[in-house]
Every structure is written in C-alpha cells, then in structure tokens.
C-alpha cells in the first residue's frame, strides 16, 4: 500500500509539471497500482478511453501527413510521440478495468488538406474529453480529460496559425 501511495503521488506530481504528459508506467502492473482496483470507474470512463484509442491512432496518421510541411513538422512530431504514448497508457487502463482494447484498424488515405483535417480531429478529441469531464468517475481518466482539453486546445490554435500561413 505504501508503494502504491508513493507511485500515485509521483504520478500526480509528474502530471502537474509542465505541459508534457506524464510518463507511461513501466508495466501494466505499475498501472494497476495507480488505477485500481481501488479507484472507481464507470461506463463513461471505458467509453471515453475506448473511443480515444482509435481516435489517437487516426491522429497519429494525420499528424504524419502534416509532418511533411516544414512549418508544421515540430508540432506534428510532438503530436505523434504524445499520442503513441497515450495509446499505450489507455490500453493499459482498459486492461486494468477488465475491458478489451479496441482492435487496430488500417489507416486511411491522407486527406487533401491535412492541417485542416488535423484541426477538426483535435476538436473532436476536445469534445470527447468534455464528455468524460461531464460523465466520468475515474480520477485518472478525469485528469487526463482535463489535460486533453488544455493541450489539444493549444494545438488547435497552433494549427490554425499554420493553416493561415498556407
């Protein structure tokens, strides 16, 4: 129990520092110590994470299309790295909660206007996170939803500025 408390405090401190996401736990067992079985979760938490995993996979593909633009490369690469980490973390959460992670789907073709498509994609992530904030119960998922609203809103603003330059 003492180790779990230390892990939880360390995770909370890491989550509060800077705008980068907290590091992925080393193993599902480490995730289990932070998330459960104690912390409650509900169907909204499972739905939120289950919707975000394929959403993030699509976002990674979209960001890859945007990364070909030299002006957007740094932001796109940051989105890719962050969302890859988040997919791993959310998959672990679902396993801890006893839910099956969604299956991988092959990426679609690159959109004609990738920056505009990525803006719409990030706006959808904000909407999903706001639904979690309204209906979720798990403290970790709720904190993650708040992080998504903040980080994706900032990314949307940066993408809009890039789109205006194009």
List, for residues 35-61, the tens digit of each pLDDT value.
443 468 999 999 999 999 999 999 999
Could you tell me the two tokens for 60?
A: 């990674």
Please give the pLDDT value at position 118: 93
The pLDDT of residue 10 is above 60:
no
Residue 159 placed within a domain: yes
Residue 140 CA to residue 56 CA, distance in Å, equals: 18
- CATH number, domain with residue 116: 1.20.1260.10
14 assigned to some structural domain:
no
Residue recorded with tokens 């409650």: 40
Report the number of distinct structural domains present in the chain: 1
Give the pLDDT score at 108. 67
Comparing 21-30, 41-50, 93-102, 110-119, the range with the smallest average pLDDT is 21-30
**Model confidence at 12: pLDDT above 70:** no
List pLDDT tens digits, range 105-139: 766 666 778 899 999 999 999 999 999 999 999 99
Report if residue 27 sits inside a domain: no
Residue 23, pLDDT score: 34
Q: How far apart are CA 139 and CA 109, in angstroms?
A: 36
Q: What is the pLDDT at residue 126? A: 98
Question: Is 80 exceeded by the pLDDT of residue 34?
Answer: no
Task: Note the pLDDT of residue 166.
Answer: 61
Does 14 or 62 have the greater pLDDT score?
Answer: 62
User: Which structural domain, as residue segments, surrounds residue 98?
Assistant: 40-165
Instruction: Please check whether residue 31 lies inside any domain of the structure.
Output: no
Q: CA–CA separation, 9 vs 23, rounded Å?
A: 14
pLDDT at res. 24 = 36
Determine the Cα–Cα distance for residues 8 and 96; give it in Å rounded to an integer.
15
Task: Express as a percent the part of the chain with pLDDT over 70.
Answer: 72
């Amino acid at each position: 129990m003492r180790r779990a408390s230390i892990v939880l405090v360390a995770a909370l401190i890491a989550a509060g520092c800077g705008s980068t996401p907290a590091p992925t736990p080393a193993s599902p067992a480490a995730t289990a110590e932070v998330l459960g079985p104690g912390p409650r979760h509900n169907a909204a938490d499972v739905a939120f994470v289950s919707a975000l995993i394929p959403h993030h996979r699509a976002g990674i593909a979209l960001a890859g299309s945007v990364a070909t633009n030299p002006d957007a490369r740094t932001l796109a690469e940051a989105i890719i790295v962050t969302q890859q980490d988040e997919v791993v973390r959310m998959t672990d959460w679902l396993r801890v909660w006893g839910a099956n992670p969604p299956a991988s789907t092959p990426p679609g073709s690159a959109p004609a206007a990738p920056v505009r498509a990525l803006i719409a994609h990030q706006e959808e992530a904000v909407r999903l996170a706001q639904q979690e904030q309204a209906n979720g119960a798990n403290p970790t998922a709720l904190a993650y939803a708040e992080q998504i609203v903040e980080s994706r809103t900032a990314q949307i603003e940066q993408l809009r500025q890039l789109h205006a330059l194009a």
